[in-house]
Structure 1
Amino acid sequence: MKKVLAIRLLLCATILSSTLAPVATQADQEPMVRLEDQPISFTLQPKMMDGVLMASVRDLARVLGMEVTWKEDELLTIVTHNEFELKLPKNSDYAYVNGQARTMHGTTQMVNGSMYVPIRFFMESANYVVRWDSAANSVNITKQADTLPVVGTYDHLITLLTQNQRSGSIKVFMAQGVKTETSATALVQSKDGSASPAPESMKSESPAYSDTNVQVQGVDESDIVKTDGNYLYTVNKQRIVVTQAYPADQMKVLSILDFQKNQGTPFQPTEIYVDDKHLIVIGNSQQSDSLVPYSGGAGLTEKRMIMPMMRQGNTKVMVYDLTDRSSLKLVKEAELDGSYISSRKIGSSLYFIANKYVNYNPYLKTENKEEAKAALAPSYRDSASGDSFTSIPLDQVYYLPKAVEPNYVLIGGMNLTEIDKPMNVTAYLGSGQNVYASEENLYMAVTNYEQMPIRTLPVPVDSSTQNSSTQGIRLQTIEPRKEETIIYQFGLTASKAIYKNTGTVPGRLLNQFSMDEHNGYFRLATTSGEMWRTDEGASKNHVFILDANLQVKGKIENIAPGERIYSTRFIGDRVYMVTFRNTDPLFVIDLKNPAEPKLLGALKIPGYSDYLHPYDENHLIGFGKDTSEVDLKNPQGPQSIAYYQGMKIALFDVTDVNNPKEKFKEIIGDRGTDSELLHNHKALLFSKEKSLLSFPVSVMKLDPNNAKPANAYGNFAFQGAYIYKLDLEKGFQLRGSITHLTEDDIKKAGQYVQAGDKQVQRVLSIGDALYTVSNGLIKANDFNTLQEKGSLIIP
């Protein structure tokens, strides 16, 4: 709190004058406060206190038709209306909204017996939107509409940004959603995780091949390797390599897009899509360094460098025509301000998302607000409209009221059948972390974290002894951190994302598999609290079901106290959840009745699963780590600790939903063994029909002749792909392995191998061959014998 107070004092004379304070020429006048364009009649006039516009709680409650009660014994004011409750402690910078603690910008203060509260906090808690208009020296309050509010003015932009900076809350920026990988035949995965034959319209003369395994049927996800059955397209460092892959003994490189040799703006490709006509490359480009315009308050006409500028990254999409794969033709470029977050491709529509930091500090003292407004506005570029960037006016930039951060989130949408038409772009001031998409909707989720203040408690004094040494001593305890996940729903129509609804649930999400849309409901699994705590702030896990308006319809809370979620998979009317501390509980939860979800059964075994993949309607495959629990023999602390061991794959039988079982398991290597599959679900190749399971893995092994403690790491033994046969009769049967390392490479390896360009990244299937891909090599091995059929060195 001291840090927050220091920031307030430092910025009071400058920043706060442009938030809810009047401009300098009107310093002797308090702002006019309007509700739905009508002036509010106050019995006690609003006051500027420490740079924050405050008003009487009773006046604000009266104009909204709310009841006010003062609790003398608790020194707090309670405001109520229908199901809304706001508790405002005296002289406090936090309050309780419907039982949830929230930090406010400002402190409640008593003035002549009346409590004053920050106007913005009070109104936004009651679901109103507050805007500051410097030209009119007024504060405008409106009811939150079904559509998001717009930023509108420079003053309002600075208000939103600086308010969050001083709020004391901790928020996390948008991170790329985690996605999965692929089936080994021409299959389409349904929403419930089952597989069905691909429609005839999707088949071609190409042999059967593995597609990227997606979370939702019909919603494609980008990857570093794609195939169409005849060709392989790979992201290879700063290049895109197009290879003729079929037949396996005739592999050859057809073309290479080398962006290192691009003399223009540097570009780093990260992921790709492929369809019948186009190769779509997505990555980050870098703008040139530029001077920061700054004048110290005298306008922006005199520009000088006030600090070295970091290169500003953009998200760039490059669309190539595949008519001639030996000479790819660039047919479209599009860029969004900010770094690449995630994307989805639905039919011919591509949606991609970027996040841009708003560096507003150089403009805080400017008097030329129009020029500053233009400089701070987000922008985009589309080659269909020319080579220049187009700024998005602030009156077309929306903001996410409950997740405002110094970032712009931009969503671009383009129709690949209409390449010559400009893309659709929507911009939001705010934040998001995980992205989930169905065919109809896109969801962005952000978790807000608020560190609650330190609470002091008096030490009880023994009245029989009146020990003077304990009198006056007060204990300090940290209140549990408040965590709240906010979900923003956008409808996907005609290659454009349009805001629809906002929802809120307690806790934090793990990744995109913590979310799911099914039969008109949106389901989530969250964790709240901390594993290290043993009080009311201890970790707990929850499942929520939201209706079409993103309001909570049903929920199960406080699952597995003291543990956190490691993986979640929604399949049809069930959700499977793995939590972990020292053992791995697999929970089976019935969601058939959205209003009354039920916890059916649980299985507790050593280890944990990072990822759950459907095998069929009654079986799941879990991928994670084995663990070894060690007794610490510590009477005053944790009783035991679990050390990660080798990689564990398990087949769970959930036929009896009340008694799930671990039917088969396989342990790979010892402590230190790792696989990209544990961090990136796209690294999995699975086909139930072919009894095929494969993934890249780096194996570490201990000397079996020497006893080692549970925390001992193994030495390098292998890097490449493991290939298993998997069925319900015999479980996991290792058929063999494929590596790109030579015997000499392995001999030179120390405890940790540096595979470099020979690190196998993906396994795919085309026809009767398995293809393993690294940056330096592509290998094709016979599906049945695993004998090498062909290889290709990538130059």
Structure 2
Amino acid sequence: MQMSRGITVLTLTSLAASPVGCTSHSAADEASDELAIGGAAEPQEREGSSPGLVRAQSCEDVAGALKVKLAQAMTEQLQANLDQAMLAATYTCDELYGEEEEEEEEEEEEEEASEYSGTNVQVEDVDEADFVKNDGGYLYILADGRFQVLDAWPAAKAHALSSYPIKGTPRRMYVHENTAVIYSSLEAWSSEIADTECTYGYDCDFTGDGRNLQVTVLDISDRAKPRLTREVEFNGSYLNSRRVGMDVHTAVVFPEYDVPGLSYWPDALPGVSCGLKEQGFSPLKVQQLFAKLRVANLKRIEAAPLTGLMPTVRDTWYYFGGGMDVTEGLLSACDDVYLSQTGDARGFLSLVSFAIDGYQSMAASTIMSRPGAVYGTKDSLYVAVRHQQEEQDGAWFPELEEEGVDEATTVHKFALQPGGSAAEYAASGVVKGRILNQFAMDEYEGALRIATTTGHLPDPEVHSTVEVLREQGSRLVELGRLDHLAPSEDIRSVRFRGDMGFVVTFKKTDPLFVLDLADPGAPSVKGELKIPGFSTYMHLMDHDHLLTMGYDADDQGDFAWFQGIQLQVIDVSDLAHPSVLDKEVIGTRGSTSDAATDHLAFTYFKARDLLAVPMTICEGGGGGGDFGDLMTFSGLLVYRVTVDGGFTPLGGVPHEEPETEETWSGRCDNWWTDSASTVKRSVFMEDWVFSIASDRVNVAQLDDLAHPTASIPLMDE
């Protein structure tokens, strides 16, 4: 026993026996670490958490490991409620709340354009899924629940050609040669996960949308008549993917298993925050009720069937001329699953691979892990998962605990295999801090560079770190570290180029740090540039220049208000002395663009020095924290951008009428991380631009952007 605030302290394990049985015993033992009642538990010797994954030997291993984590999580939550109940059973309402303070709260027609823009990918020749694809002759768009094909060339005669209805809500796709691979969301399995996609990661996490995933494969050799060839359904949701040649690799996240019937408050105990003693519930009685509830919960966990724990797949092939073939079952065999040693993983993540031109089953590599940011190369795919010490069931990472760091990112590496074979789990590692997005990772000459931020503004201890990791056996081990970068600021964008790195942090100005990563064991700052505002995306314009997008800022001394959208051309030819060549500020506070937080909306057509960005422009307002008064433009802005000439505005393709005082609708109250432009994507074909919103595509010539030649509806009217 212990004493805390004059209360007799017992452990749940001293009040109730654990269920009997081999698997039950292990789960109960792992979950029963001296859970104190009414006070802190005595510390026990633990080896600490490890980022590494261990291959399961059997289905019993998988079920046992998962049930241990479920039992630990259940016990943690039960303890939190017990702490509240003990206060209610010890003090009257007057005693408890009297001591507290209230808180505040027309030429010859060709089939294809000679030059055209494609998907803005992070890594060359590694395609990323999007809801718009372009091959220079046809435009493919997911809208209104359909896969739609537009005959786009010649642009002056662009028109809708065909459409195919997709089950669920189509989200992303690949189009390669004569095949379209479409990802759609079906019914929800979680109401706690927002039905949105996290692309930037500053104030959202990479979780998937909480809906079952379907992959639909269409034969589009006849663009006018797409034909269904395959549908694959998972009991998990789409996280991210990459296409390398004919191979598609998809990260699918499966729900954390929820055992039906678990309870976290005794039925007999009133749900009050004080005065239980007056209702006949002594501290000892409360302890006994919770101990009994814990035993009942453990029994439910141990009885949970394995079939409810594992990732499953249903694969349906449709044959030409009729007929179909259906197979379903576990996505991965139990002995092909890798088990997590972190305490907060109670679900699975699978990397599912298949060849577009193949007829084999989906191949998968499955690990026990929470979802995270995804970065991919031709040969590897990495998943970076954020962790908080306070959310960790059990011990923290020993190396980070020694540093006093309570935020971490684990990184899991998969080796991609050709021909639709399953990727192989390769190694895992852990770094301090939290990752921003996929651009904070980069693989170069076999080493992974990763940038993270530790802490949250306005804490003055906030700082950033760049670490270099290399695979050694099954571990990603640290080769070198650049720590305490930009104290009191956090990361807003990252980009790597060969043995150099570029990191933008922010509190009230935009320090652009140029990093020398030539020696992976000793990364260092090569140069620095301070500019008002901050960049949320950096594009590699050429070897010596960055093309950035973000926000202007109004310095207030201790902090700065974000203002209008800001574009910059930055010269990094002299790495020690980077400089701004030109800057363009668009609108006032509340102006917004999808391209600011989603690189797929940013279209730089290098062949013709053209840049297109979706924009909702707001004007007026008094500066500082005041948002703009009126929306003056909603559509696509187009610039010619050169190193010598900077930004030359070519005009805009309109999609909505500007607001007036009579038609004001509050369109300008946009937060910087929540992009909300009407236009979502754009495509260049020679001297034409296609401006794509959710309801229509406007097609315009560069010399007359304000008057589109064609407007093609995407919604049934």
After TM superposition, the score normalised by the length of structure 1 is: 0.68
2:611 maps to 1:693: yes
Could you tell me how far apart the structure 1 residues matched to 2:300 and 2:372 are? 35
Correspondence list, 1:26-425, <5 A: 51-52=32-33, 107-108=42-43, 117=44, 121-122=46-47, 152-153=60-61, 154-164=63-73, 166=75, 206-259=113-166, 267-286=168-187, 313-362=211-260, 372-384=305-317, 386-387=325-326, 389-391=328-330, 392=332, 394-402=334-342, 404-418=344-358, 420-425=359-364
Partner of 2:466: 543
User: Which one-letter code corresponds to 2:586 in the other structure?
Assistant: I
Report the secondary structure of 1:421's partner residue: coil
Could you tell me how far apart the structure 1 residues matched to 2:30 and 2:298 are? 21
Question: Which of 668, 674, 683 is the equivalent residue of 2:601?
Answer: 683
Could you tell me how far apart the structure 2 residues matched to 1:360 and 1:677 are? 37
2:708 maps to 1:788: yes
User: Which one-letter code corresponds to 1:775 in the other structure?
Assistant: S
Question: Which of 554, 560, 578 is the equivalent residue of 2:504?
Answer: 578
Equivalent residues of 1:161, 1:404 under 8 A apart: no
Report the secondary structure of 2:698's partner residue: strand
Equivalent residues of 2:414, 2:423 under 8 A apart: yes
Correspondence list, 1:496-535, <5 A: 496-534=422-460
Q: Provide the aligned C-alpha RMSD in A.
A: 3.7
2:413 maps to 1:489: yes
Q: 1:776 to 1:374 in 2, by over 3 A?
A: closer
Could you tell me how far apart the structure 2 residues matched to 1:452 and 1:758 are? 35
Could you tell me how far apart the structure 1 residues matched to 2:669 and 2:488 are? 38
Shift in Å at residue 650 of structure 1?
1.1
Q: 1:532 to 1:371 in 2, by over 3 A?
A: closer
Partner of 1:188: none
Partner of 1:732: 647
Deviation digits for residues 485-543 of structure 1, max 9, x if unmatched?
11111111133221111111111100000000011111011111232224xxx111111
Could you tell me how far apart the structure 2 residues matched to 1:368 and 1:359 are? 10
Shift in Å at residue 622 of structure 1?
1.5
User: Which one-letter code corresponds to 1:793 in the other structure?
Assistant: P
User: Which one-letter code corresponds to 1:573 in the other structure?
Assistant: D
Could you tell me how far apart the structure 2 residues matched to 1:439 and 1:14 are? 54
Q: 1:757 to 1:578 in 2, by over 3 A?
A: closer
Equivalent residues of 1:152, 1:396 under 8 A apart: no
Equivalent residues of 2:494, 2:503 under 8 A apart: yes
Correspondence list, 1:422-441, <5 A: 422-441=361-380
Deviates more, 1:368-377 or 1:221-230: 368-377
2:701 maps to 1:765: no
Could you tell me how far apart the structure 1 residues matched to 2:189 and 2:456 are? 43
Determine which structure has more spread, i.e. the larger CA radius of gyration.
Answer: 1
User: Which one-letter code corresponds to 1:373 in the other structure?
Assistant: L
Deviation digits for residues 421-466 of structure 1, max 9, x if unmatched?
211023222213101111111111112111399xxxxxxxxxxxxx
Q: 1:402 to 1:791 in 2, by over 3 A?
A: same
User: Which one-letter code corresponds to 1:526 in the other structure?
Assistant: T
Q: Identity of aligned pairs, percent?
A: 27
Equivalent residues of 1:268, 1:285 under 8 A apart: yes
Could you tell me how far apart the structure 1 residues matched to 2:457 and 2:165 are? 47
Equivalent residues of 1:315, 1:339 under 8 A apart: yes
User: Which one-letter code corresponds to 1:484 in the other structure?
Assistant: A
Q: 1:400 to 1:253 in 2, by over 3 A?
A: same
Could you tell me how far apart the structure 1 residues matched to 2:29 and 2:299 are? 22
Report the secondary structure of 2:60's partner residue: coil
Shift in Å at residue 382 of structure 1?
1.4
Correspondence list, 1:646-661, <5 A: 646-661=564-579
Structure in which a larger fraction of residues adopt helix: 2
Partner of 1:590: 516
Could you tell me how far apart the structure 1 residues matched to 2:462 and 2:489 are? 6
Equivalent residues of 2:650, 2:702 under 8 A apart: no
Aligned length: 593
Partner of 2:541: 615
Report the secondary structure of 2:694's partner residue: coil
Equivalent residues of 1:449, 1:481 under 8 A apart: no
Could you tell me how far apart the structure 1 residues matched to 2:17 and 2:517 are? 49
Q: 1:692 to 1:431 in 2, by over 3 A?
A: same
After TM superposition, the score normalised by the length of structure 2 is: 0.75
Deviation digits for residues 582-623 of structure 1, max 9, x if unmatched?
111000011111112221111112100001111111111121
Deviation digits for residues 77-102 of structure 1, max 9, x if unmatched?
xxxxxxxxxxxxxxx97xxxxxxxxx
User: Which one-letter code corresponds to 1:565 in the other structure?
Assistant: I
Could you tell me how far apart the structure 1 residues matched to 2:654 and 2:306 are? 55
Report the secondary structure of 2:656's partner residue: coil
Report the secondary structure of 1:357's partner residue: coil
Question: Which of 381, 391, 410 is the equivalent residue of 1:442?
Answer: 381
Structure in which a larger fraction of residues adopt strand: 1
Shift in Å at residue 205 of structure 1?
5.3
Deviation digits for residues 296-335 of structure 1, max 9, x if unmatched?
xxxxxxxxxxxxxxx9831111000012222211111112
Shift in Å at residue 272 of structure 1?
1.2
Partner of 1:461: none
5+ residue gaps in structure 2? 78-109, 191-208, 262-296, 318-323, 393-402
Equivalent residues of 1:150, 1:398 under 8 A apart: no
Q: 1:497 to 1:753 in 2, by over 3 A?
A: same
Could you tell me how far apart the structure 2 residues matched to 1:242 and 1:12 are? 67
Deviation digits for residues 231-278 of structure 1, max 9, x if unmatched?
11111142222111111232222222234xxxxxx5111011111111
Could you tell me how far apart the structure 2 residues matched to 1:244 and 1:618 are? 38
Shift in Å at residue 161 of structure 1?
2.6
Could you tell me how far apart the structure 2 residues matched to 1:314 and 1:152 are? 26
Equivalent residues of 1:316, 1:336 under 8 A apart: yes
Report the secondary structure of 1:551's partner residue: strand
| Structure with more relative contact order (C-alpha pairs < 8 Å, separation 6 or more) | 2
Deviates more, 1:549-558 or 1:354-363: 354-363
Equivalent residues of 2:54, 2:338 under 8 A apart: no
Deviation digits for residues 350-370 of structure 1, max 9, x if unmatched?
111221223332275668968
Could you tell me how far apart the structure 2 residues matched to 1:791 and 1:49 are? 63
Equivalent residues of 2:133, 2:140 under 8 A apart: yes
5+ residue gaps in structure 1? 24-30, 34-46, 55-91, 94-105, 109-116, 129-143, 169-202, 260-265, 290-310, 454-478, 632-639
Question: Which of 545, 548, 553 is the equivalent residue of 1:627?
Answer: 553
Q: 1:672 to 1:742 in 2, by over 3 A?
A: closer
